[in-house]
Amino acid sequence: MDFSAIITAVMVVGGVGLFLGIFLGIASIVFKVEVDEKEEAVLSVLPGNNCGGCGYPGCSGLAAAIAKGEAAVNACPVGGEEVGKKVAEIMGVEAGESVRMTAFVKCVGDCEKTHKNYEYSGIKDCAVVKYVPDGGDKSCNHGCLGYGNCVKACPFGAISIKNGIAVVDRDKCKACGICVSTCPKGLIELIPYDSKMVVSCSSKDKGPVTMKSCGAGCIGCSLCVKVCPSQAITVNDFHAHIDQDKCTGCGACKEKCPKKIIREFGK
């Protein structure tokens, strides 16, 4: 047995290993990426849903922005006030006031209040149905199509289809905003969780047209505007809108609305 050959082989392998170890050690120092301890700490308290509701690419993106001072400490809609306070403590600042938001579907045109213009038998997808004749098979061209794209997109199971329209469970909703961008009709918006009065319609058709297509559509009559003592309601394009910052919840608009589409939020 040639022991010299074995010893040579061992020395060569050991030398290569030693060289690689030294090389990698030097490379780790030269190319070392500095980790912001605050960024790591912030990331550890964020929910980890990576929903993008904060406007950044996932929780890591938000953590980096907060650490750099480019995003508010309470910018995570999913974590809400509780997470905001933890992040503020890490950053050594005040959390500030946080308003809980929730998604709201501006439509109550269910199967009883609307009718079908025709029988649709294609792909059950709101984004597809939007482009079929009349913008969908429902009589109201502005209303919820009811095929559940928002349901599929919601990572928190906060949306369901009930009697042909999407309904949000505001206690489950984390206001990530995914449903808002998913709805092809633009029917969903984020409003304060404690909003008092809401207009449950998105129609922009003239009154006579709306009344033919839906039994619960806004006809733009402006009676709500006239009775609102806080001037919280405006009507544009035959559609009423309530400024939640001005609304006091007196209920005058609700009582005056002839179509009963102004309602107490959550009821």
Q: What is the DSSP letter of 139?
A: S
The class of domain 37-91 in CATH terms is: mainly alpha
Q: pLDDT tens digits for 2-50?
A: 567 667 766 766 676 777 777 677 766 666 556 678 889 999 999 998 8
3-class SS letters over 107-120: CCCCCCCCCECCCC
The answer as to CATH 3.40.50.850 being correct for domain 101-191 is no
Q: pLDDT tens digits for 160-183?
A: 999 999 999 999 999 999 999 999
Cα 132 from chain centroid? 26
**Same fold for the pair 101-191 and 195-267:** yes
Average pLDDT for 107-131? 92
Q: What is the mean pLDDT of the chain?
A: 89
Look at residue 1 and tell me whether its pLDDT is greater than 80. Answer: no
Q: What percent of the chain has pLDDT over 70?
A: 91
- Residue spans of the domains in the chain: they are 1-32, 37-91, 101-191, 195-267
State the pTM of this model: 0.79
The reported pLDDT for the residue numbered 21 is 74
Tokens describing residue 143: 């209303």
Given a contact cutoff of 8 angstroms between Cβ atoms, the answer to whether 163 and 213 are in contact is no
Q: pLDDT tens digits for 192-223?
A: 999 999 999 999 999 999 999 999 999 999 99
Bridge-partner residues for 262, per DSSP?
A: 199
